[in-house]
Structure 1
Amino acid sequence: MSVNLPQEVVLAQPRGFCAGVDRAIEIVERALIKFGAPIYVRHEIVHNTYVVNDLKAKGAIFVDTLEGIPEGSIVIFSAHGVSRALQQEAVERGLKVYDATCPLVTKVHVEVAKLAREGYEFIMIGHAGHPEVEGTMGQLEGGIYLVQDLSDVNKIQPRQTEKLALVTQTTLSVDDAREITAAIRARFPAVREPKQQDICYATQNRQDAVKLLTRQVQMVIVVGSQTSSNSNRLLELAKRMGTPAYMVDSASELQDAWFKGMARIGLTAGASAPEILVQQVIERIKQISGVTVRTMDGVTEDMRFPLPKGLKLEGDAEPERSALHVRAQDAQP
């Protein structure tokens, strides 16, 4: 084997699907089995091209608005959550809704509603235009101020500062959120912070794994779609750690030139990327060089969220477990 080509692939642990993503996909699959196509899904159920195309092939129709969906149709809200206005619109249009919002996003919505009744205004750390941010800010008519970076902190002009609470998008960079939170706290010492941070366990676990991974490898590949916030944060983190890094939606996007002089390659996947894509990337690297593959030590996630009522199948059988649902810890490189 040439010393200029990869000799080992090191797999991050954990990587890939989280419980919220797995639940959202299962909701769509169960609805298709129970009710038949078409099933309408408002926005991409999760931000991954492979997942969306797989569900389209099974009969899911993805829409950006509820306009044009026939009355009585089944519509599924994506894992990112939606505004109260959209929920009300679905009711007015006579649609049957199954809500695939990640329970950790719902937790933020519940906290916003509870504190709003107590007179609180809110600062939200997140990315403008991301559907999760739009859904959370849409829980209230005003009273939520969006902060995307440190420069935004001084622009906040709340009506009062005695009752001010902080929430965050669940898929942010843990380090960035910590820095922005410190700046908000410095300007508003009385700001109320969540008892437990809003950034989800899976986002933090994958970022922690990448920090460890970069110490063991010369380059990192992140499997994920460009629209995936948590995948982009993994890419940024690897680069911030001083390691060359690339993000690919599929193995076909790999470029041979990336691997020259890189003996040890790190491989991870965003929380919306299925394990099958990781395995396809490994096979493509093996075509370039006969690498060995090992999985680094790390957290094994076993969290599972309950499904909405009304999706029980005959005999309570689960849908056929496609390659979408293979867990990272069960994969055999």
Structure 2
Amino acid sequence: MTQPQLAPLTLYLAAPRGFCAGVDRAIKIVEMALSKWGAPVYVRHEIVHNKYVVDDLRAKGAVFVEELDECPPDRLVIFSAHGVPKAVPAEAARREMIYVDATCPLVSKVHMEAARHHERGLQIVMIGHAGHPETIGTMGQLPAGEVLLVETPDDVASVAVRDPGQLAYVTQTTLSVDDTIDIVAALQARFPAIVGPHKEDICYATTNRQEAVKAIAPNCDALLVVGAPNSSNSRRLVEVAARAGCGYAQLVQRASDIDWRALEGIGSMGITAGASAPEVLINEVVDAFRARFDVTVEVVETAQENVEFKVPRVLREPA
């Protein structure tokens, strides 16, 4: 019996996609710590927002916890790539714990910016998402009340500042570039003296992945973002795709999450991945389409990335 002919599908694969340098570094930190100190090593919060990555590290001996009091004092603890409030390493030091900070260097840059502004007597407005670990970590670098959070342009109208002439702003590194432009414009309109960062806070990887999605979305009947529901940069990619003209944009963690009924009759498909999604999951999704369609893959590259961050020295030294 002859096999039914598969419908043709052009699959646009966005590049860059997937792991960024900060995520790659954070995963290496856990793997190198396991190699140096042996299992278990403890990780405060998910090291990066991806279930596959977390499960893989858990299988190797990492134990994921939410707070330091869940960690025994004689075992290494690692702080996640999203950053932590200053009180966390201070408490670890008080308890004489060995710890390694896996905060992405680009998040640390925002922390240092906020601290410098604070030293100059400026109150900080942070553009970010309430409850996100990165936002909590950044706001926790300074005393209570010194960092005010805004999430939308509407929030700017109601934010209560100490002195309109003594303000600076910082942003979460994983925001929508376009949304942030609107919020910054609202801040500058209400507070003309507000000081911005010397260099854009939104990280290179977030920006590059959004630009790649903008390049493919208008040509796609549908677009899937491989990433976790709690991944800010992955969720932003879905929003960017929809705004760029793609009629159906969805977030999936694995190929098993794909709603095939919603994709009936499509002729073109876009695929990208958030900065904490490994390439193995992207390949899994592509293979799922190859099983159902006669796929032609077109890679659309809008930028090349060669950023690499060193792991902390303590991991490079012999045990």
TM-score bucket (shorter structure): over 0.9
Q: In percent, how many aligned pairs have the same letter? A: 51
Contact 1:10 1:294 in 2 (8 A): yes
* Deviation digits for residues 213-244 of structure 1 (CA, Å, limit 9, x no counterpart): 11222110100000100000001111122311
State yes or no: 1:207 paired with 2:246: no
Match of 1:323 in 2: none
Taking structure 1 as reference, are residues 146 and 224 closer, same or farther at Cα in structure 2, changes over 3 Å only? same
Taking structure 1 as reference, are residues 122 and 257 closer, same or farther at Cα in structure 2, changes over 3 Å only? same
Of 136, 151, 154, which aligns to 2:154? 151
Contact 2:220 2:269 in 1 (8 A): yes
Contact 1:4 1:261 in 2 (8 A): no
Counterpart AA for 1:259: L
Of 17, 21, 24, which aligns to 2:23? 21
TM-superposed CA distance for 1:276, in Å, is 0.4
Match of 1:303 in 2: 307
Taking structure 1 as reference, are residues 12 and 157 closer, same or farther at Cα in structure 2, changes over 3 Å only? same
How far apart, in 1, do the equivalents of 2:44 and 2:299 lie? 36
* Deviation digits for residues 149-201 of structure 1 (CA, Å, limit 9, x no counterpart): 12210111111122200000000000000000000100000000011110000
The normalised TM-score by structure 1 is 0.92
Q: Tell me, which stretches of 5 or more residues in structure 1 are unaligned?
A: 317-333
Counterpart AA for 1:63: V
Counterpart AA for 1:199: I
Counterpart AA for 2:275: A
Q: Tell me, which stretches of 5 or more residues in structure 2 are unaligned?
A: none
Match of 1:161 in 2: 164
State yes or no: 1:184 paired with 2:187: yes
Match of 1:75 in 2: 77
How far apart, in 2, do the equivalents of 1:148 and 1:217 lie? 30
How far apart, in 1, do the equivalents of 2:34 and 2:263 lie? 42
State yes or no: 1:232 paired with 2:235: yes
Secondary structure in structure 1 of the residue aligned to 2:89: helix
Secondary structure in structure 1 of the residue aligned to 2:69: coil
* Deviation digits for residues 51-105 of structure 1 (CA, Å, limit 9, x no counterpart): 0000000000000000131113201000000001111111112211111000000
Match of 2:259 in 1: 255
Counterpart AA for 2:243: R
Counterpart AA for 2:250: Y
How far apart, in 2, do the equivalents of 1:250 and 1:16 lie? 13
Contact 1:6 1:265 in 2 (8 A): no
How far apart, in 2, do the equivalents of 1:50 and 1:156 lie? 39
Contact 2:6 2:292 in 1 (8 A): no
TM-superposed CA distance for 1:310, in Å, is 1.2
Of 229, 242, 254, which aligns to 2:245? 242
Secondary structure in structure 1 of the residue aligned to 2:315: coil
Contact 1:5 1:262 in 2 (8 A): no
Counterpart AA for 1:31: A
Taking structure 1 as reference, are residues 242 and 216 closer, same or farther at Cα in structure 2, changes over 3 Å only? closer
Contact 1:214 1:238 in 2 (8 A): yes
Match of 2:139 in 1: 137
Of 58, 61, 66, which aligns to 1:59? 61
State yes or no: 1:284 paired with 2:288: yes
